[in-house]
Amino acid sequence: MNERYERQEMLPEIGKEGQQKLRNARITVVGAGGLGCPVLLYLTAVGVGHITIIDDDAVSLHNLQRQILYTEEDIYKPKAEVAAGRLSALNNEVEVHPVCERLCEANASRLIGRVDLIIDCTDNLPARKVIDACAARIGVPWLYGSIGGWQGQCSLMNCGSEPKRYADLLLDEAPLMPAPAVLGALSGMVGAMQVAEAVKYLAGLSEEQLLTGKLWWMDLKTLRSGIFRF
């Protein structure tokens, strides 16, 4: 048992076999902001072997309230490159590839590459539609995540016996649109949920135990949370 991951390998659903699956996994994370920071930290900590970060933005002062990979010294520096350096320092067993480009329809397949899972940490509808179309084209699942105000959401798309597309969610209930106001801690909670879902999927847990065709939501102000099917 690898000492670094021993507490994780003690989980019967993961064990040594599941940990090896994480080590072999390739994940592309789109966005290294509020959701991207906790997602990237936890993916690295749990031992996902190959991580690509796509983000063309630079660190700003107002990011530091919730984007926990960065410091004041990083202002004006490219987020993807700064994040990659921090992640490598956390776990040198993980291969991290920063991409300082904006994802669009024209470059999506090239930037995302051959992966096992895409994680959406963006903050806009057009980017999610690009991710959804690319995931369907290359045949891989993607994890939707969104935060705004006190509320957050998460779902696993393009996965399972009846794969769901982003349009299915749009038709059933309008997904949460990011708001200018957001509680910093919410980023961590929803980001952690995305990583937990990624680990479950990569380790091979059953479809019933995954957010396939289901939207998980939470409201930190009212302390309400739930799951609805779509």
Give the pLDDT band of residue 2 (cuts 50, 70, 90): confident
Give the pLDDT band of residue 151 (cuts 50, 70, 90): very high
Query: Taking Cα atoms as reference points, which of 47, 81, 82 lies closest to residue 68?
Result: 82
Q: Is residue 28 part of a domain?
A: yes
pLDDT of residue 197: 99
Residues 155 and 131: beta-carbon distance below 8 Å: no
**DSSP code at position 95:** E
pLDDT of residue 175: 58
Q: Is residue 168 part of a domain?
A: no
CATH no. for residue 94?
3.40.50.720
Q: What is the pTM assigned to this prediction?
A: 0.95
What is the H or E stretch that residue 117 is in? strand 117-120
pLDDT greater than 80 at residue 177: no
For the ranges 113-117, 146-150, 173-177, 201-205, which has the lowest average pLDDT?
173-177
pLDDT of residue 172: 59
pLDDT of residue 179: 60
pLDDT of residue 153: 95
Q: Is residue 214 part of a domain?
A: no
Query: Taking Cα atoms as reference points, which of 49, 58, 209, 193 lies closest to residue 116?
Result: 49
Number of domains in the chain: 1
Query: Taking Cα atoms as reference points, which of 152, 154, 151 lies closest to residue 141?
Result: 154
**Mean pLDDT in the chain?**
95
Q: Is residue 51 part of a domain?
A: yes
For the ranges 13-27, 89-103, 173-187, which has the lowest average pLDDT?
173-187
Q: Is residue 173 part of a domain?
A: no
Helices 36-46 and 184-203, packing angle to 10 deg: 40
Q: Is residue 215 part of a domain?
A: no
Q: Is residue 217 part of a domain?
A: no
Which tokens hold the place of 24? 């072999």
Q: Which residues form the domain of 47?
A: 3-146+182-205
pLDDT of residue 53: 99
pLDDT greater than 60 at residue 173: no
Q: What is the pLDDT of residues 43-97, one digit of tens each?
A: 999 999 999 999 999 999 999 999 999 999 999 999 999 999 999 999 999 999 9
Q: Is residue 197 part of a domain?
A: yes
